[in-house]
Structure 1
Amino acid sequence: MGYRIAVVGATGNVGREMLSILAERGFPADEVVALASRKSLGTEVSYGDTTLKTKDLDTFDFAGFDMALFAIGSDATKTYAPKAAKAGCVVIDNSSLYRYDPDVPLIVPECNPEAIHEYSKKNIIANPNCSTAQMVVALKPLHDRAKIKRVVVSTYQSVSGAGKEGIDELWDQTKSIYNPVDNKPPKKFTKQIAFNVIPHIDVFMDDGSTKEEWKMVAETKKILDTSIKVQATCVRVPVFVGHSESVNIEFEEFLDEHEARDILREAPGIMVVDKREDGGYITPIECVGDFATFISRIRQDSTIENGISLWCVSDNLRKGAALNAVQIAELLGREVLKKG
């Protein structure tokens, strides 16, 4: 007997990816239901070779369902996640609503799978921010070997992280560059995103950081180790899909770059592509549709005693969102629910 699964927000970018990945990975589901808001009622979405018609989230009864993968905003999640959890359905939430709740585990399966057993406090599990997810996958095996003291990261985040509106704005503005009559001023972003970069994601906080940067700090500490210091600068770039990160790591003890490369090659969820030649690294366009977090440009940092720098690239709609949620569902089924 397999699982009964609901995908909430099935018509959005992440919801569609969740359905695709459930099918690709052969998740043991006896039933998969696609849920969306009433305005999207009846919209057809793909689940493997099957086409599903969306059902109304507002009237849906979660009783009897094992898991619900949520891919809707925090406001809607606040309404519907507790209903699903109360009905006995374990919620795996992709919004930021529960990430910092001490009674809700924040999980990246390659990093802290043991936290899965904490789900029962609220029947909810949180999925981390997209930029955090790929970074901690890279940090975890290195932290296990040499203990990380400090991380300085600069992100180069694609517009798909801002949803369909972000993708549309980059597309429309790019076209308008070559057709000045059809001017497309910024709406989703604070400045023009086409042929530009914007050092601003989410709202500004009192200390001058943005909330996206704060998320990376708080989530890294919750997932890996509260003692790790993190300094982040998060930047939106004119790329449709795929987040990139330049990561500088300071360890408590020396870690040779060759050993770091070997550790990362053996680590789960990571693909090392690191040749010191033209094109011997991965860029965002090459990671799209892939499950892996790609690591390149691994090198010693000579400016500090125990430092390593690296380049980290991942499909933000997959590992940064949908894939991680499905991996949590797999972990929950394997370690806790144990059906099938």
Structure 2
Amino acid sequence: MPIELTTLTDGGQPASRVASEIAAFLTAARETLDLALYDVRLETEAGALVLASLLAAHQRGVHVRLMYNVDHPGPIPVPPPPETRPEAIEALPVETRGIAGIPDLMHHKFCVRDGTDVWTGSMNWTEDSWTRQENVVVRLLDAERLAFAFTLAFDELWERGAVEGTGTVQPRPVELDGGIEVRPWFTPGFGDALSHRVAKHIGRAKRRIRIASPVLTAGPILGTLVEVVNERRCRVVGVVDDTQVDDVFRQWGRNAMSAWKIPLLETIVERAAFAGKPSTPWRPDGVQDFMHAKVVVTDDVAFVGSFNFSRSGERNAENVVEIHDSGVANELATYVEALEERYPRATPPAGDGEGAGITSEKENVTP
């Protein structure tokens, strides 16, 4: 099978198991490793296994390039600030490149191995990401044309050193072994087009729509979902991060340019089968137990990656793979359904939100 999935749940797996999977992927490298990681921190015991595998690859002659997001002063966008310590990354004996989150974030979590294999998804390389968050990892193997697209996106960011003007790699379809069609998407270059693409598939779904995303704020997706829910075209099941969604509602309520989205998201949350994880509000020294998976399944098509299906996500450096395969869609749909059953119903926040502070993530509230 050219596509392998790993799904994570809060408390569902030890850090050592996830670290072992990462280490195995890195250990198989023979020539090159290009890593684009929004948040990477490897000081723990499990992280040491990943770090050792990375250093071993370098020592045996693998050309390693590691790219990471550089935090900057200013409003905190979705997602929360990374824990990455630039000084620790820069001390590594490999090529490194800090990408300034200007105007938005380098939010990728992917690795290209030997120009043929891709590791991507929603999972950062931190202990909380491995043990306390819902995440999805996708490995696409023996996929040279797909890996080439990811390498082009990597090189754009590496050369520019900033997010603006990147993500321009065309989302051309690639056929993997077994006739599976996969289409890679990159933002911000194709951010608007990606939201419209997801919305189009949501609007065409006849059997099922399954969604996992910390927040839902992209206008085309909200509008189409409301139509589907109101017309009861098919069953919509989803899970969001309730703490973060509450904060989005409050911010929209204080911003006239974004207030039009409030009834749309209220309708989706109230009329569809949406659960909300009551995650811990973000603090610099707190646990990061967010509902962090980013998945949309429409019939037998799946969209999965680092993209939050949000307006700010369209402006970040993100990636999504659009996969046309019933087996992958079934596995991801089952995962979302299990999360929906695990958590209570999502609800809009009580009160008018006046004086509410930032919780775990802050959504840019531009329309």
Q: TM-score range by the shorter chain?
A: under 0.3
Which one has a bigger Cα radius of gyration?
A: 1
TM-score, normalising length: structure 2: 0.26
